[in-house]
Structure 1
């Protein structure tokens, strides 16, 4: 029964993220689209900082069914606001044409979706076992664990602020820089392994959270922008691939931990991100005038 309910939650989550960014970008003026996308994605680190610790505290201090009840109430409130506040026709503010996508735009959109898959796989592969990894470190305590997870959540919010500031005019460079930083962070965690200090780990975790936050926002926004009138379909497909990649990354990390070791998840993530870097660079170099990107 729990598995059934969990599956229904997952299906709802997938549907929501498949349409929310594209919908939000279509109800605002063109000059606000980058900021809108960043605001939407800021909900993930915000939930990490506030929602998860709060509900964990409630569940541990009272009962877990109380925490689930509160979630249900919040969802009901969100549903009411959706019906009251959101416009019925979100396409009216964006002129759309029936012109087919150019061959280059189709190609770039599929390559970007591939990059999304690699980023999500790497992220899930590393983050699935982040708590067991922290518990294996010399400085572990429940207080340090909570503090580190809060740092990760706050870094995601900072990543969204950076995205708002630079994505409108620097989406390619922003994606490239933080894809490299993400890979270096994973490689550093592998090299330092369980000998890492608290402050070094906190700094790397900060870079990790900033990079992941920026990359998920920029790539999804990039797909929407270059696919024009097909953005709803491609955004939904990109979200679907992201969710499949999360499952793949979690499965892959379980195999790595069981057969190789806990820190192997970081070198695996770094390797996946290296492939994504090469693919992104290939896109940018091949499209010399960058008009399609």
Structure 2
């Protein structure tokens, strides 16, 4: 009797979805790398330019839950293509924006389409792979996040320096069109949820484990975004002799390494890998705070920051999928709200700290929020982050 075939990963489809997550994150974080150029090009302060990230997050925050509820019974590939089309239009408008209000509106629209894509990715990936490969497949699909941070945002910063910030958004429009064609050809379709299987979001939030995971996402991503949004002013304020593009390269490549480590461990050691990532975040905040005195400390801090961040989305969405089961899409819409609320709050809080006290407070805020997330994971050892998994 022949041995049963081992399930295989649909690499082409997963890489197309990874390209999609790359576009989502790249579009979100481009202003962080382009902050000085946006400031001078639009005649605004760096704190105001940082709100181009906050308003993107606001778009996701406002639309994630209603869009998820409205599209849960729709087939997945058409939704993916609709999301990519939204990014094509929004990034084109941003690239051509004659003023800050137009740029803010286009960023708000882009954020709304980000909410659509993030709310469906985890469930879509799990629908097209064997259950025992779900964690690894999700790590591949979310690889666009650290690649965007490692390569995309620094390259966008470099491109803005040698040409104009508008070209960076134009490139994103072209990439959105290419990924649409790729997804249409190679990504298999998957059904949505049958109408009778929908569960109200309040009942989804009440599923054991879901609320602690969402709380962890909120404070962890706040820790990240309060510094990431203003990495250029942080470097200047501490007198660290690194350009924003160089710092983002260091952070991003470390984040890619963090994702690879997470992909290899998340299916067997979810709790341990999550705790390790958060400890790395706290250590990074301490080193980044000391980086004004010794540049090497800042560099090590950037590396630890990236290692801790790289697998965070995979860890959190894997935990949510295991806790929520058939209601993963609804649970991930709550994840999207928390994630983007953290981005929005990070941009606003960072701007307030930057304008009132200065850049020295940013690593402190990062470390305090990461410590809070660590405490939530430590006490959530049953349904959310079970021990001995």
Q: TM-score, normalised by structure 2?
A: 0.66
- Describe the SS at the equivalent of 1:262: coil
| Residue 379 (structure 2) pairs with residue 278 (structure 1) | no
Aligned pairs (5 A) from 1:262-277: 262-277=359-374
Once the 2 structures are TM-superposed, how far is the Cα of residue 261 of structure 1 from its aligned partner? 2.8
Aligned pairs (5 A) from 1:200-239: 200-239=297-336
Aligned pairs (5 A) from 1:108-127: 108-127=209-228
Residue 150 of structure 2: aligned partner? 49
Residue 15 of structure 1: aligned partner? 116
Once the 2 structures are TM-superposed, how far is the Cα of residue 30 of structure 1 from its aligned partner? 1.5
Q: CA RMSD in A?
A: 3.0
Q: Distance in 2 between matches of 1:114 and 1:289?
A: 13
Once the 2 structures are TM-superposed, how far is the Cα of residue 173 of structure 1 from its aligned partner? 0.8
Kindly tell me: are residues 56 and 177 of structure 1, through their superposed partners in 2, closer, same or farther at Cα, counting changes over 3 Å? closer
Q: Distance in 2 between matches of 1:108 and 1:288?
A: 4
- Describe the SS at the equivalent of 1:169: coil
Residue 292 of structure 2: aligned partner? 194
Aligned residues: 284
Alpha-carbon displacement from aligned partner over 1:21-79 (angstroms, at most 9, x marks no partner): 32112211112211112112221221223223333444444444443332212101111
Once the 2 structures are TM-superposed, how far is the Cα of residue 91 of structure 1 from its aligned partner? 6.9
Gaps of 5+ in 1: none
Q: TM-score, normalised by structure 1?
A: 0.86
| Residue 169 (structure 2) pairs with residue 68 (structure 1) | yes
Q: Distance in 1 between matches of 2:152 and 2:370?
A: 29
Q: Distance in 1 between matches of 2:278 and 2:246?
A: 25
Residue 266 of structure 2: aligned partner? 167
Q: Distance in 1 between matches of 2:345 and 2:205?
A: 29
Q: 1:153 aligns with which of 249, 252, 255?
A: 252
Q: Distance in 1 between matches of 2:295 and 2:385?
A: 45
Residue 340 of structure 2: aligned partner? 243
Once the 2 structures are TM-superposed, how far is the Cα of residue 250 of structure 1 from its aligned partner? 1.5
- Describe the SS at the equivalent of 1:168: coil
